[in-house]
Chain A
Amino acid sequence: MNALILATDNVNVAQNVAFGIIAAVMIFAALSVVTTKNVVHAALWLVMVLAGVAAQYVLAAAEFVAVSQVLVYIGAVMVLFLFGIMLTRAQIGKETGLNNKQWALGIPVALVLFGLLAWVIVDAFGDDVLPDRGPAPTVMLSDQFLSIYLLPFIAISFVLLAAAIGAIVLARKD
């Protein structure tokens, strides 16, 4: 599929090749996340996906977002996940019963959804070529955050604060 698209593209072959390789790794890793029998392995495969997403951000000229992705996801969220696994699971290793009884229901749903999305995307953006821009300066981002997106910025601060407090309250022993 990717090869087909690559063939029709005539700009910046190296970028396309990099994208294809990373995308393939990501999809494989993502599939592993949802199919592996080992919870810890799933978390590690998830790291691969998240790192891949960060790499794609770099390709898409979004350096600051890529760095944030690495810091927040791979640095913090993954540690949280590993703690979560550790605290809720005594044994580490393969186990059965990670899937539901109706796990097969997910396959048609996911396939139908993907078919729909793919069709819509190709229909709408089939020929659009992404412009070859340099990375966006971080100053631009900060200007946006502190001007028109100031209110959501404050709101998200409160969300984070509330989440932190809520998590503490929920996870307390007493």
Chain B
Amino acid sequence: MLAVNFLLLGAALFCIGVYGVIARRNAVMVLMSIELILNAVSLNFVAFALMSGAIDGQVFALYVIAVAAAEVGVGLAMVLMIYRNRKSIALDELSEMKG
């Protein structure tokens, strides 16, 4: 099996995730797209671990999973709060950061 297989699959997932982050309006969907990105990265880590024979890549993949869990928890809590305050989670309506 070639290393490029895994890496290209990771790249594809990553780019799909990026498209989702840019295109989606719903905050929950944006979070899902971020999950795609994170998984793409983990996939690369594991592939490199297999390639190099060192197990460190898998350790990092596990860290990514843990961080992703934390990120989803906090992210969804924020979405909930936004929804409670504005009755909407459409990100393009949130333009407080407008310069």
Residues on A lying within 8 angstroms of B by beta carbon are: 1-2, 5, 8-9, 11-12, 15-16, 19, 23, 26-27, 30-31, 33-34, 39, 42-43, 46, 49-50, 53, 56-57, 59-62, 64-65, 68-69, 72-73, 76-77, 80-81, 83-85, 87-88, 97-107, 109-111, 113-114, 117-118, 121-122, 125-133, 136, 140-141, 144-145, 149, 152, 156, 159-160, 162-164, 166-171
Contacts and interface: CB of A to CB of B under 8 A. Distances in A.
Given A117-B11, A131-B50, A141 B3 contact: no
A23 B5 contact: yes
A162 B56 CA distance: 25
B73 A163 contact: yes
Given A73-B68, A84-B31, A110-B16, 10 more contacts: A9-B2, A31-B16, A33-B20, A34-B20, A49-B36, A50-B35, A62-B61, A77-B35, A141-B55, A141-B59
A103 B24 CA distance: 7
Contacts of B4: 5, 121-122, 125-126, 128
Contact of B39 (A12, A43, A53, A114): A53
Residue of B4, B14, B55 most packed against chain A (CB within 10 A):
B4
Interface of B: 1-9, 11-29, 31-33, 35-36, 39, 42-43, 46-47, 49-51, 53, 55-56, 58-59, 61-63, 65-74, 76-81, 83, 89-92
A73 B11 CA distance: 20
B23 to A, nearest CB: 4
Nearest to B9: A23
Contacts of A136: 49, 55, 58
Contacts of B17: 30, 34
Contacts of B5: 2, 5, 16, 19, 23
Contacts of A30: 12-13, 16-17, 36
B92 A128 contact: no
